[in-house]
Structure 1
Amino acid sequence: MAMEENGFLEYLQLQDGAPDLITKSELIARVRAEGFSVSDRQLTFYVTEGLLPRSVRVGSRAGAYPAIVVELVTWILRARDGGAPIEALKELLPVWKFLVRARIARELALSELEYVARQHVTSLEGSLAVARVVTDVMACYCPKCQGDMVIVAKNGDRMRMGDPKSTVGFAVARMLDDEDTGPNPRWYASTRVSLAATYGYSSDPTTVILGLKPNDALPPDPDSEPEPCDQDKEPAVQT
Structure 2
Amino acid sequence: MNIGRAAEMSGVSTKMIRYYEQTGLIPRAARQDSGYRDYDEADVHRLRFIRRARDLGFTVEQIGGLLDLWSDRSRASADVKAFALEHVERLKDKMAEIEAMVRTLETLADHCHGDDRPDCPIIEGLAEGDGAPSATARAPRRFGKPGGQTARQPSAAKRTR
Q: Tell me the TM-score normalized by structure 2.
A: 0.45
| Higher RCO (C-alpha 8 Å, min separation 6) | 1
Q: Tell me the TM-score normalized by structure 1.
A: 0.31
Work out which of the two has the higher radius of gyration on C-alpha atoms and give 1 or 2.
2
Higher strand share: 1
